Structure 1
Amino acid sequence: MDLQLTGRVALVTGASKGIGLAVVRTLLDEGARVAAVSRKSGADLDALAGPNLLHVPADLTDPAAPAEAVRRTVETFGGLDVLVNNAGGPPPGATLPRFGFLTPTDDDWRAMFEFNLFAVVRTVRAAIPHLLDADAGAIVNVSSGNGRRPGPMNYDYNAAKAAVNNLTKGLSEEYGPQGVRVNTVSPGPVRTAWWTDEGGAADVLAGATGADRDAILDGGAAEMMNLVTGRLVDPREVADVIALLASPRSASTTGAEVAVDGGFLKEV
């Protein structure tokens, strides 16, 4: 399938690893020009270097950073067609999962919302004027299945992602008639650095359950979360759906939430 992304300009946040890196790679493969936004680059992102890739170093918790990232993108590529708000998860210095409502402090809540919600709001605000000028503008916000499945851990993260879901619906209503589609992709647990890094989610769950971290990664986490596929999601599987939603081939899809979660969400 030709996704009709050749020559289109996309800005992807959280682009140096995990889902964001997979999205950058997929969009480049589809012929798009991509501004990859992250605090710093990395070997995997550097390996994609070429005329169609711009790395924009930015800390999106800085209120001025989203507008600067958009400005750099438009300055370099001449416009903006697609925005992928992928940056999210634990803010710098935080480790998830966190158990119990009383665990996160006010500062934890503020940091979580700055990274997972306010950075999205500011990036959309900066991008909208350029997306309105595009012939088929698209925004894809990366949320989480936890935005619709509350539970007694990660209260701050879950609430921030629920807010992203609500924001997406509102944006789709306002800007859909003006030619900008807005959709959400809600991954389940994805095998990224959040899980695999030392001290990450696999280690936290291993410590809480007495299991081996490798056993957690190779099936234990999937069993705990009742994933019907029996494994964590591959970042490329999420990236493929994001690319499809960003494509003009999805011209009648807006305000949707697409789960790529291994069967994590059971709700109808």
Structure 2
Amino acid sequence: MDLQLDGRTAVVTGASKGIGLAVVRTLLEEGARVLAVSRTSGPELDALAGPDLVHAAEDLTDPQAPARAVARAVEVFGGVDILVNNAGGPPPGVALPRFGFLTPGDRDWVEMFDFNLFSAVRAARAAIPVMLERGGGSVVNVSSGNARRPAPMNVDYNAAKAALSNVSKALSEEFGPRGVRVNTVSPGPVRTPWWTDEGGAADILAAQTGADRQAVLDKVAPEMMGLTTGRLVDPQEVADVVVLLASPRSGSTTGTDVVVDGGFLKQV
């Protein structure tokens, strides 16, 4: 299926690994030009180097970083048609999961919202006027199944993602009539570096459960989270949905949330 992305420009945050890297790769394969935003690059992102890919080294906890990234895309590619707010999860230097409401303090809450909500708000604030000047565009915000499944584990993260989903719906109502579609994708647990890095979620849960990290990744975590598929989600499975929503082929899809979670959410 031709996604009609040839020559369109996308800004993708959290682009150096996991879901963001898969989104960048897929957009390039579909003919888009991509400004990839992350604090640092990495070998997998570097391997995609070419005239249609520019890396912007930005720390999105800096309030000015999202606007600089959008301005860079306009400078290099002439505009912005697609914004994928993928950056999120544990803020720099933080390991998740965290257990219990009383565990995170004020600073933890502020850092979590800054990374998972405010960076996306700032990026949208910068990109949407550029899209309006071009006659329209698409914003895809990567939320989480936890936005709709409150729990005492990672309570600050879950709340930030719930806020992101709420803001996304509001943006879709305001700017949809002017040609800018806004949607969210809500993954379940995805096999990304958040899980697999040393000291990451797999190691934390291994210490809690007495299982080894590989067992956590392959069996314990999917069972704990009630994943119908019996496995963590692959980043490419999320990226495929993100890119479809970004595409003009989804021209009548706005204000929706698409779940890619292996059966994590059980609600009707």
- What amino acid is the match of 2:10? A
Check whether the contact 1:136–1:248 (CA below 8 A) recurs between aligned residues.
no
1:171-213: CA deviations, max 9, x gaps? 0000000000000000000000000001000011111111111
**Residue of structure 1 in register with 2:131 after alignment:** 131
| 2:179 aligned with 1:175 | no
**Residue of structure 2 in register with 1:254 after alignment:** 254
**Residue of structure 1 in register with 2:153 after alignment:** 153
| SS of residue in 2 equivalent to 1:172 | helix
CA distance in 1, matches of 2:195, 2:219: 13
**Residue of structure 1 in register with 2:216 after alignment:** 216
| SS of residue in 1 equivalent to 2:36 | strand
1:216-241: CA deviations, max 9, x gaps? 11122111101011000000000000
CA distance in 2, matches of 1:135, 1:110: 35
**Residue of structure 2 in register with 1:109 after alignment:** 109
Moved more, 181-190 or 130-139: 130-139
Any stretches of 5+ residues in structure 2 without a counterpart?
A: none
**Residue of structure 2 in register with 1:63 after alignment:** 63
**Residue of structure 1 in register with 2:39 after alignment:** 39
Check whether the contact 1:12–1:84 (CA below 8 A) recurs between aligned residues.
yes
**Residue of structure 1 in register with 2:264 after alignment:** 264
CA distance in 2, matches of 1:85, 1:181: 14
Number of residues of Structure 1 aligned to a counterpart in Structure 2: 268
CA distance in 2, matches of 1:182, 1:90: 24
**Residue of structure 1 in register with 2:186 after alignment:** 186
**Residue of structure 2 in register with 1:244 after alignment:** 244
CA distance in 2, matches of 1:245, 1:133: 21
With normalisation by structure 1, the TM-score equals 0.99
CA distance in 1, matches of 2:47, 2:70: 23
CA distance in 2, matches of 1:134, 1:25: 24
**Residue of structure 1 in register with 2:22 after alignment:** 22
| 2:94 aligned with 1:98 | no
1:136 Cα shift?
3.9
1:148 Cα shift?
0.5
| 2:207 aligned with 1:207 | yes
1:26-58: CA deviations, max 9, x gaps? 000000000000000000000000000000000
| SS of residue in 2 equivalent to 1:56 | strand
CA distance in 1, matches of 2:75, 2:219: 45
Check whether the contact 2:191–2:234 (CA below 8 A) recurs between aligned residues.
yes
1:231-258: CA deviations, max 9, x gaps? 0000000000000000000010000000
CA distance in 1, matches of 2:136, 2:22: 23
| SS of residue in 2 equivalent to 1:84 | strand
1:103-139: CA deviations, max 9, x gaps? 0010000000000001111100011111112344000
- What amino acid is the match of 2:241? V
| SS of residue in 2 equivalent to 1:63 | coil
1:25 Cα shift?
0.1
Percent of matched pairs sharing the same residue = 75
